[in-house]
Amino acid sequence: MTTLEATHLVKEFRLRSGFRREVFRAVDDVSFTLAPGRTVALVGESGSGKSTIARLLTRLDRPTGGAITLRGADGRPVPDRAHRDHVQLVFQDPFASLNPFHTVEHHLARPLLLHGRTRGAAETHQAVLHLLDRVRLRPAEDIARRRPHELSGGQRQRVAIARALAPGAQVVVADEPVSMLDVSLRRGVLELLARLQAEDHLAVLYITHDLATARHFADDVLVLYGGRVVERGPADDVLLRPRHPYTQLLAASAPDPAKRVTARKESA
């Protein structure tokens, strides 16, 4: 079981406008912990720094300051070289993250072999089928032979989730994992993530604009504004009783299905 600690994370980008050079601070002194079996939602408007944090946690980018530490169940730091096995990213757009020329089997077999989870073709094939079964892509033999364009959007995102699990992920960073999916498919994919999290005791960072799903699926919420955490706490506390003006604004502008029903009744 791995815990991820982000302490005083800072990310600056150097910008050029004409002859002027400026430094833009996209992430400003952000600290949090992702613990096994818990989901933290990271919410905030577009440009608040959510994806930048996802890139830092998964080592796709380096922080300008601060540290990201992984600790095993014994509390000892996990070696740096194992970071990619432990921390996996599920992207917003499953189409863009899958190679159109490769089969589902190839997408899943590669990380299994690369991270030394399986050896040889037969063992790898069985592991691929098992992963497909875990994400409820059935019949697994048939799905394994398909290429990304032969799958629906929801099925593609399930492949992306299976691929994140393949290296034996302990921490999953899901960056708007359902925002590109049809509304009717979103809940199923989020429920899948929640089930896998419970089964594998994963630590999950769920990045979203959607406060309703943040409240439903997350234990804790971090509210990001201009690269800083302006409010944090248990999901119900933060989202039902927001204290910071920005969170109050977010909560007030989120669609409330209950209100819509009342409004429809009134206009009928």
Ligand X SMILES: Nc1ncnc2c1ncn2[C@@H]1O[C@H](COP(=O)(O)OP(=O)(O)OP(=O)(O)O)[C@@H](O)[C@H]1O
Q: Pick left, alpha or beta for residue 201 (phi over 0 → left; psi -120 to 50 → alpha; otherwise beta).
A: left
Q: Is 49 in the site for ligand X (CB under 6 A)?
A: yes
Minimum distance, C-beta of residue 81 to ligand X, in the bound complex (Å): 26
Q: Please count the residues of this chain forming the interface with ligand X, following the rule CB under 6 A.
A: 11
Kind and range of the H or E element at 79? none
Q: Is 13 in the site for ligand X (CB under 6 A)?
A: yes
Q: Is 52 in the site for ligand X (CB under 6 A)?
A: yes
Judged by CB, which is closer to ligand X: 14, or 259? Answer: 14
Say which residues have a Cβ less than 8 Å from residue 85's Cβ, sequence separation at least 6: 115, 167, 168, 169
Structure tokens at 241: 């009783």
Structure tokens at 137: 């892509």
Give the separation between CA 133 and CA 178, rounded to whole angstroms. Answer: 20
Judged by CB, which is closer to ligand X: 88, or 92? Answer: 92
Q: Is 118 in the site for ligand X (CB under 6 A)?
A: no
Minimum distance, C-beta of residue 86 to ligand X, in the bound complex (Å): 22
Structure tokens at 75: 């509390």
Q: Is 139 in the site for ligand X (CB under 6 A)?
A: no
Q: Is 97 in the site for ligand X (CB under 6 A)?
A: no
Stretch that binds ligand X, among 44-52, 150-158, 188-196, 229-237 (CB under 6 A): 44-52
Taking CB under 6 A as the criterion, the residue among 2, 48, 118, 170 binding ligand X is 48
Judged by CB, which is closer to ligand X: 179, or 262? Answer: 179
Judged by CB, which is closer to ligand X: 13, or 141? Answer: 13
Minimum distance, C-beta of residue 177 to ligand X, in the bound complex (Å): 13
* Amino acid code (one letter) for 248: Q
Q: Is 26 in the site for ligand X (CB under 6 A)?
A: yes
Burial label for 152, CB within 10 Å (0-12, 13-18, 19+), is exposed
How big is the CA angle at 213 (ends 210 and 218), to the nearest 5 degrees? 115
Minimum distance, C-beta of residue 13 to ligand X, in the bound complex (Å): 3
Q: For residue 218, give the DSSP letter.
A: -
Kind and range of the H or E element at 6? strand 3-17
Q: Is 44 in the site for ligand X (CB under 6 A)?
A: yes
Please give the torsion angle defined by the CA atoms of residues 246, 187, 190 and 104, in that order, rounded to the nearest 10 degrees. Answer: -130
Site of interaction with ligand X (CB under 6 A): 13, 24, 26, 44, 46-52
